[in-house]
Amino acid sequence: MARRETPAAGPGSRALVVDVIRSATTISRVELAELTGLTQPSISNIVRDLIADGVIHETGSADSVRGKPRKLLAIQPAHRFGIGFQLGPESVTCVAIDLTGGVVGREVVPLDRTDLPARLAARFDDFTAGLDLPRDRIEGLAIVAPEAPEWAEERAGLAGQLRIPVLFENDAAAAALGEFWSRRVSREQSFGCVYLSTGIGAGLVFGGSLFRGASFDAGELGHVSIAYDGRSCPCGNAGCVERYASMTATVDAARAEPALAARLRLDGTVSSAYDTIARAAVSGDAAAYAVIDRAAGHLAVAVTSMVNLLDLGRLVLTGPGVAVAGSIYARRLRTHLARTAHARHRHEIVVELSARPRDAASIGGAALVVQASIAPGHTLGVS
């Protein structure tokens, strides 16, 4: 492997070291220096500070080739916690994670949007009290929603009320970071996450950090057009994949088939109608399967463009849209990439399904909070 440039030791190095320890589970100082490209003295200093701060600890030792045992380092899980609230159309998913990314609490409650900041503050108190998490070990709260960056006022109000840092994040970006953490993806991998919900988004993690673009608007996969003269989209473009493959578009497609719509009784909210179609599709209903598979095909075309543009090596499908029928999307995507991805002869493009597709965004929000607290000044996620 080519030796990378030695990064300067700073808050970014501290975050880098913590990330590498987390993805390795346990690791020696020598291996840390090799994997981060930092010098041995820098590693010694950073490790000493992280142990003093209680972020990591020494955990036994491993035999080295030369016989001298090496002390192994690991994350101290119960030291700090991050809270993530994901706002859905009808409910809020609340998650608490520790420093390793492990989920220590989760609940989903109905969401009433009147006087939202006060309600979220009350929700935070209830949730953390229920888990008996000491307030001084809670590093902050992340609110995750499709259009989160526009919430400047609510953020200030909430942070003042709770007296902890509050950050807002877009659901696809948060989910990407959550998957990056919980899968222990190495920093070398170009990692992408496709978030399927009532809209479609993508999150991209390069070198361990979320890629944001010029105005925090990167990852708008839903508005990648797959047809010049296709369906018109509220964004102003035509043929946006969101108009063919989002949960909303899939429910519309199923409702347009009278026999299918009557058989499955597709009234009610988009989320519940979509789950009904997805359940039918994985239980042998051929018409429901065809509707989902067609949506998956449209999604595969757009995702392949993203993979080609960025030369991604690993992709995760997540979000409520893959909670039930994720295997149909994964199969379509793998087939399409294996046949058409530009880099298919150079490397494999791994497509995986999220283990917690309904929680990925809230877990990722909580991960952002913890990450930011480990390396103050180096707002992780902002490269």
Residues lying near Zn ion in the complex (CB under 5 A) are found at 223, 233, 235, 237, 240
Amino acid, res. 292: I
Q: Which residues on neighbouring strands pair with residue 353, listed in sequence order?
A: 317
Choose between 85 and 244: whose C-beta lies nearer to Zn ion: 244
- Euclidean distance between the first and the last CA atom of the chain, given in angstroms as a whole number: 24
Q: Which helix (H) or strand (E) holds 192?
A: strand 191-196
Smallest distance from the beta carbon of 302 to Zn ion, in angstroms?
Answer: 11
Q: Which residues on neighbouring strands pair with residue 3, listed in sequence order?
A: none
Smallest distance from the beta carbon of 150 to Zn ion, in angstroms?
Answer: 18
Smallest distance from the beta carbon of 229 to Zn ion, in angstroms?
Answer: 14
Smallest distance from the beta carbon of 237 to Zn ion, in angstroms?
Answer: 5
Cα distance between residue 107 and residue 95, in whole Å: 7
The helix/strand/coil state of 185 is coil
Cα distance between residue 89 and residue 366, in whole Å: 20
Counting beta carbons within 10 angstroms of the beta carbon of residue 376, is it exposed (0 to 12), middle (13 to 18) or buried (19 or more)?
exposed
| Nearest to 367, CA basis, from 164, 237, 179 | 179
Choose between 129 and 235: whose C-beta lies nearer to Zn ion: 235
Choose between 159 and 233: whose C-beta lies nearer to Zn ion: 233
Smallest distance from the beta carbon of 234 to Zn ion, in angstroms?
Answer: 7
Smallest distance from the beta carbon of 303 to Zn ion, in angstroms?
Answer: 16
Smallest distance from the beta carbon of 299 to Zn ion, in angstroms?
Answer: 14
Cα distance between residue 142 and residue 168, in whole Å: 6
Cα distance between residue 188 and residue 313, in whole Å: 10
Choose between 20 and 241: whose C-beta lies nearer to Zn ion: 241
Q: Which residues on neighbouring strands pair with residue 238, listed in sequence order?
A: 232
Cα distance between residue 248 and residue 87, in whole Å: 17
Choose between 13 and 225: whose C-beta lies nearer to Zn ion: 225
Answer yes or no: are the C-beta atoms of 329 and 299 closer than 8 Å: yes
Choose between 26 and 237: whose C-beta lies nearer to Zn ion: 237
Choose between 118 and 235: whose C-beta lies nearer to Zn ion: 235
